[in-house]
Amino acid sequence: MPSIPPMPSFRASARAARTATRSELPRIPVPTARAIVDCGVYVDGHRLPGRFTHRDALAEVRNRGAGFVWVGLHDPDAAQMGDIAETFGLHALAVEDAVGAHQRPKLERYDDTLVLVMRTVAYVEHELHSVSEIVETGEIMVFAAADFVVTVRHGEHSGLASVRQRLEADATMLMYGPGAVLHGIADYVVDNYIDVAASVELDIDAMEEEVFTPRSQVAIESIYQLKREVVELRRAVNPLAIPLQLLGHKSDLPLPKEIRRYMRDVADHHTSVAERITDFDGSLSALIGAGLAKIGVQQNTDMRKISAYVAIAAVPTMIAGIYGMNFEHMPELRWTYGYPLVIGVIVSICTMLLVLFRRNHWL
């Protein structure tokens, strides 16, 4: 009989049709204003009243010939970032990094625009041994020029509203221009490093107490988990050292001298927290070794207990085995008190072994 060709899968065909239709649909552009968290114009250390678009704000500053614009964005897409780049004249390579995120902390200069990339960290509240994520990371990218600052944030925990409020309350600092904003953001990020490091240190202290508590169960998996999170924290924090040193000591950068002094203070704080995080890694490595050693000691103790009980159980087994061989001529076999005597001998030997093992701390 002729073979019947297989029928196509209606489910697969429908899924493919939906995918093709979805891919053919034009993407609706999202306005740039949806990605802008805040946009302010600052003149002589004070924020001008009113609301501005990013284009109007830059035009206002350049018409005045004084002040600067601070535009804050959160998770912009390529089209939104392209609009910002066109308005402020940002370099295409830096814009690509701002959209893609997941950049290593670095400092770059494109003509008169400084680009500083920083990784942000946040501590995730948790119970011991309960979650796999302890440190959450994000990213902040700062574009700073003579008359504007553009900040691009990725992550839900890296809000800069508190930084903006603190700077707006200090007109003397804001008079230094975009460099003051650059310092304020860097100082905020490093302060978060210090807070997260303190929280992680409490976790390590709790883990140490648990490991060295007598007769406690050692959870090596939890120590490895904490060590992995410390490694992620170190990767986020340590690479920022070189950019902060450059901002504090390189005199040819377009930053006021006073801002460079403040940057050196931020760099000192960063160095101290980076050293603490490096110490965390060493402490956890030693803790893993101690935990494994404790597990080995516990296993040896368990084996000694098992061996002691086996030795005690071997006494009645051996004697019963001898009398169970059914030989005719055996000691006290036909004696009336032979059975109680054997039981007494077994109990006496087992008691003696029990006392001996306990005296030697085997039981």
Task: Give DSSP secondary structure letters for 86-134.
Answer: HHHT--HHHHHHHHH--PPPEEEEETTEEEEEEEEEEEPP--TTT-S--
**Residues 4-25: tens digit of each pLDDT:** 444 444 344 444 444 444 444 4
**Residues 190-243: tens digit of each pLDDT:** 999 999 999 999 988 888 888 777 777 767 778 888 888 888 899 999 999 999
Task: Give DSSP secondary structure letters for 211-268.
Answer: HHSTTPPP-HHHHHHHHHHHHHHHHHHGGGHHHHHHHHH-TTSSS-HHHHHHHHHHHH
Question: Which has the closest alpha carbon to 67: 170, 176, 184, 141?
Answer: 176
Angstrom CA distances, 192 to 74, 188, 267, 332, stand at 19, 6, 14, 85
Residue 324 CB coordination number (10 Å)? 8
Angstrom CA distances, 142 to 68, 97, 355, stand at 14, 11, 74
pLDDT tens digits in sequence order for the chain, 363 residues long: 444 444 444 344 444 444 444 444 455 667 888 888 999 999 998 999 988 999 999 999 999 889 999 999 998 988 999 999 999 999 999 888 888 878 889 999 998 899 999 999 998 887 776 666 788 889 999 999 999 999 999 988 778 889 999 999 999 999 999 999 999 999 999 999 999 999 999 988 888 888 777 777 767 778 888 888 888 899 999 999 999 999 999 888 889 999 999 999 999 999 999 999 989 888 888 888 877 777 777 778 778 888 888 888 888 888 888 777 776 666 666 777 777 878 888 888 888 888 888 888 777
